[in-house]
Amino acid sequence: MDGVMTQKKTNEKLGGKDLINIGIYAAIYCVIMTAVSMLGFIPIMMPMLSVLCPLIGGITMMLFYTKVKKFGMITIITIIIGAYLWITGMGYWPFVFGIVCGLAADFVAKSGNYLSKKKTVLSHAIMNVTIFGCFLPLYLDINGYFSSRTSFGSDYVEALTRIFRPWTAPVILACCFVFGVLGALLGMHFLKKHFEKAGIV
């Protein structure tokens, strides 16, 4: 009995293979996110990040979710993504959001034993709220943010100020969530269409 218990305990702990998987998928996700973020310099496209990142990243993440069997993996990948956003200059809010959203997403996925499809979709949507963290400084301190961005030219700032009215904050938050759901569904579709056939799931 004791032997069974210890074996179960070691199974719960994250092994080397799990951690390497996290690193690999985080790298793929970050590269995709960077490619998408480059669109953010056309003023109209900036809020679109909350649409495109969850949607395209969903494909990567659904593949990652098939590898998740233990508690902690989703938390760690979200923290790493948040830290990456911080390092690439989105401020520290994504990092804070990453810790909170990552834990929440992990708990949701765990409640479905990492197998339930509905819970996976919900968990992915919660995870993507992290991206809202990038936009938070825009609403918290709108003048402070733009005073430091005058080097972009007044037109750019004007276009951005017009886009970021306070009522758009919940819209962006909702966008992250809804497109997180859609991204997860798209990812699952791709999973069935391509990856299962190729035998990498």
Partner 1 sequence: MEKALYNPGKLDRGILMDPRTKLLLLITVTTFALGGAGGRRCENLVPVLCMAPFLLLFTAKRFKTAIIGIILFWGSSTLLTFANAHNMGGFLYYIILGSCGVLGRFLPCIMMGRYLMESTTVSEFTKAMKKLHVSDNIIIPLSVMFRFFPTVIDEADSISCAMKMRGISIGGKHASKMVEYRMVPLMTCCVNIGEELSAAALTRGLGGEVKRTNICKIGFHVQDFIAISLCLVPWILLIVDVVK
d(CA 164, CA 82): 22
34 vs 171 by CB, closer to partner 1: 34
Shortest distance, position 20 Cβ to partner 1, whole Å: 4
CB of 33 to partner 1, least distance (A): 12
Burial tier of 157 (Cβ tally within 10 Å: 0-12, 13-18, 19+): middle
| Residues at the contact surface with partner 1, assessed by CB under 8 A | 14-17, 19-24, 26-28, 30-32, 35, 38, 41-43, 56, 59-60, 63, 72, 76-77, 79-80, 86-92, 137, 144-145, 147-149, 151-153, 155-156, 190, 194-195, 198, 200
Q: What dihedral angle (degrees, nearest 10) is formed by the CA atoms of 107, 108, 111, 115?
A: -120
The residue (of 31 and 171) whose beta carbon lies closer to partner 1 is 31
Token pair, residue 120, equals: 């996976």
User: Least Å distance between CB 3 and partner 1?
Assistant: 16
Minimum Å distance from CB 11 to partner 1? 13
Closest listed residue to residue 74, CA positions, set 136, 5, 133, 130: 130
Give the other-Cβ count within 10 Å of 133's Cβ.
Answer: 23
